[in-house]
Structure formats: C-alpha cells, structure tokens
C-alpha cells in the first residue's frame, strides 16, 4: 500500500498552505487525495479505468503486440507548436501583443523521454509569460520525486514568469516544491503579473472539485482583463458569469487516441464536446482547451498531436 500513498506536505508547508488557502481547502484536498489512493487499491469504484490496473496492462500489451505502440509513441512526441491571436476585452493597449505560453497535461514522468521531447520542442519558442494548467504527474497517486526531477530540468526552458495550477493527477505537496523552482502556483488565488492583467487560477474542478472562483476573485480590482487557468473546461459557465475574459484549460488531451480526421472517441469531461478541444467561445468569454503536451494511461497518440500553444493577447474594442 505504501507506494500508492499520496505524499504529504511537510509541517512547515502545511502551515503556509493553511494560512494561504484556508484550512478548509487544505483539509478537503488532502482528504480527497488520501481517499482516492484508498479507493484505487481498496474497495473503490471498480469500473473506473484507472482502477482496473490489469486492464491497463492488457491494453499496453495489446498496443505493443499490434504495433500501435511503435507507431503511436513517436507521434506522442511530435508537438505541434503554434501561436494564435486572441482578442481579449479589457486588455489595456499597452499589453497588446503580450504572449502567453500555455502548457498542459505534460505527465512528465510518463516515460524516460517525455520531458526530453518537450524540451526539444520548446527550443526557439518565445513568450512573455508561461502558464501551465495541471497534470504534471503521470499517475494520480504515488511518489512525486520523479515529476519534481523532470520539472527541475524543464523549468529553465520556460520563458518569463511562470504560473501553474493543479490538475487531477497532481497532489498538494507538489505546489510548495514547484514554488521552490520559481513557479507560482495559483490555488483559488489571483495575481496581476502586469498592470491590467489579472491571472486567476483554480484548483482542479474535474475530480477534486475544490475549485473556488469566488475565493480566487475576491479582492480583484475593477477593470483590466481576467484570464482564468482551470484544469478542465467543465466550469466554463461559472467562469463566463464570473466575468472571466479568457479561459485556458486542458485535461481532455484532445481525445489523445482519435479516429482519422481527429474525431475524439472519449474526452472524459463533463461538458459539451465543442469546449473540449481548441478555441471556443461562450457568451462574452473566449476559451481554449489544449490537447496537451503528454499522454496518460497509454503512451501513444493518433490523429491528435500533442500541442504547445502561445496565446498572443490582443486588445479589442469592447464597445
């Protein structure tokens, strides 16, 4: 059982986290992390794919034997790097052209070469700020030392100030460790890295459901533009009605193993398909759900390349 336990923050880290996030959030996060590990290997939800470890092994064996692994593994390391302009109401003219590198679902410890492939693809990618929307670890449980080692190697390749949130594969103990590497984690918190640019980050809304836009946005000044980092797009309605201008998300992997033409067989996301991949819009809010940089469960991709996105923010006339 020991190797499946979730690592816990140290006593000092716990004090800091409670002070910053509130004792209820910390208690919920750590409590659900613990229950998740117990559920997976105890008497939990037997039909969840992650719980069915023998099925995972069988699937991996099948992909190896069928040759799908040999085809799909290289495809999972060939990142599509692209820049896109996005009009953001409220963005001051002085910030027109500000670029934001968006990485998500890196699952850095999935395989020995996952991080190397990402570092190679990031060569020459320029941006003013880096944002990461969760899922740094391959598994949803177990040790975090491997992912911390990989992140230490990746960090020098991330341009500008760096911000992150936690996904459903991550645990709270990773947050102070990442902050020690100069990555500011936003756990139902907000920061303004530039005058007129408010960056808001919520904890995982998919599995942990301990996201609180209300807590994150309390005390934000009026005006400027509001960019939300959320692991999954599932809270798009709440975000739009909270006055978010741009929402950046991941989690879906774009389907990861898709049919020809890129049609996703499954998104594992409780929201309409149009919000599960690429650019979308809901009411006045723009959104982007990245297909992610890495893989989970199976280390392959088909008809769904991993992506590295640079969002170039453009001031728009909101009249």
Enumerate binding residues for Fe ion (CB under 5 A): 105, 135, 296
Nearer to Fe ion, 217 or 229 (CB): 229
Nearer to Fe ion, 135 or 189 (CB): 135
Q: Give the 3-state secondary structure of residue 70.
A: helix
Return the HEC string of 240-266.
HHCCCCEEEECCCHHHCEEECCCEECC
Interatomic CA distance for residues 301 and 13, integer angstroms: 37
Contact 163/132 with Cβ under 8 angstroms?
Answer: yes
Q: Minimal distance in Å, beta carbon 294 to Fe ion?
A: 7
Q: Minimal distance in Å, beta carbon 319 to Fe ion?
A: 39
Q: Minimal distance in Å, beta carbon 250 to Fe ion?
A: 7
Q: Minimal distance in Å, beta carbon 304 to Fe ion?
A: 13
Q: Give the 3-state secondary structure of residue 90.
A: coil
Interatomic CA distance for residues 55 and 72, integer angstroms: 19
Nearer to Fe ion, 206 or 215 (CB): 206
Interatomic CA distance for residues 278 and 132, integer angstroms: 16
- CA-based max dimension of the chain: 59
Nearer to Fe ion, 50 or 245 (CB): 50
Give the closest residue to 209 by CA, choosing from 21, 32, 43, 14. Answer: 32
Give the closest residue to 225 by CA, choosing from 156, 157, 284. Answer: 284
CA distances in angstroms from 206 to 42, 166, 180, 266, 282, listed in the order given: 22, 11, 26, 15, 19
Q: Minimal distance in Å, beta carbon 117 to Fe ion?
A: 16
Q: Minimal distance in Å, beta carbon 243 to Fe ion?
A: 27
Nearer to Fe ion, 151 or 315 (CB): 151
Nearer to Fe ion, 212 or 296 (CB): 296
Q: Minimal distance in Å, beta carbon 134 to Fe ion?
A: 7
Nearer to Fe ion, 215 or 301 (CB): 301
Residue matched to tokens 């049919």 = 259
Give the closest residue to 247 by CA, choosing from 230, 269, 270, 272. Answer: 230
Q: Minimal distance in Å, beta carbon 128 to Fe ion?
A: 25
Burial 168-199 (b: 16+ CB within 10 A, else e): bbbbbbbbbbbeeeebbbbbbbbeebbebbbb
Nearer to Fe ion, 105 or 109 (CB): 105
């Amino acid at each position: 059982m020991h190797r499946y336990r979730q690592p816990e923050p140290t006593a000092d880290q716990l004090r800091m986290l409670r002070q910053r996030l509130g004792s209820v959030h910390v208690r919920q996060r750590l409590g659900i992390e613990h229950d998740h590990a117990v559920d997976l290997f105890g008497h939990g939800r037997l039909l969840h794919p992650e719980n069915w470890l023998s099925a995972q092994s069988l699937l991996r064996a099948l992909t190896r034997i069928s040759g799908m692994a040999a085809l799909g593994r290289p495809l999972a390391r060939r990142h599509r790097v692209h820049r896109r302009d996005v009009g953001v109401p409220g963005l001051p003219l002085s910030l027109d052209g500000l670029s934001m590198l968006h990485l998500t679902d890196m699952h850095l410890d999935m395989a020995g070469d996952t991080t190397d492939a990402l570092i190679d693809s990031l060569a020459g990618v320029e941006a003013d700020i880096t944002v990461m929307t969760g899922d740094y670890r391959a598994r949803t449980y177990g040790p975090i030392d491997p992912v911390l080692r990989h992140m230490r190697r990746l960090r020098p390749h991330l341009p500008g100030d760096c911000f992150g949130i936690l996904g459903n594969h991550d645990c709270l103990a990773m947050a102070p460790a990442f902050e020690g590497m100069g990555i500011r984690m936003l756990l139902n918190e907000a920061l303004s890295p530039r005058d007129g640019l408010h960056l808001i980050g919520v904890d995982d809304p998919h599995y942990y459901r301990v996201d609180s836009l209300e807590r994150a946005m309390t005390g934000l000044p009026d005006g400027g533009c509001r960019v939300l980092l959320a692991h999954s797009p599932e809270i798009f309605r709440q975000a739009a009605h909270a006055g978010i201008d741009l929402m950046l998300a991941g989690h879906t992997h774009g389907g990861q193993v898709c049919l020809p033409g890129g049609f996703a067989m499954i998104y594992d996301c409780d929201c309409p398909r149009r919000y599960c991949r690429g650019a979308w819009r809901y009411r006045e809010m723009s959104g982007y759900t990245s297909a992610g940089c890495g893989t989970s469960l199976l280390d392959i991709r088909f008809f769904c390349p991993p992506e590295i996105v640079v969002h170039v923010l453009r001031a728009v006339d909101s009249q």
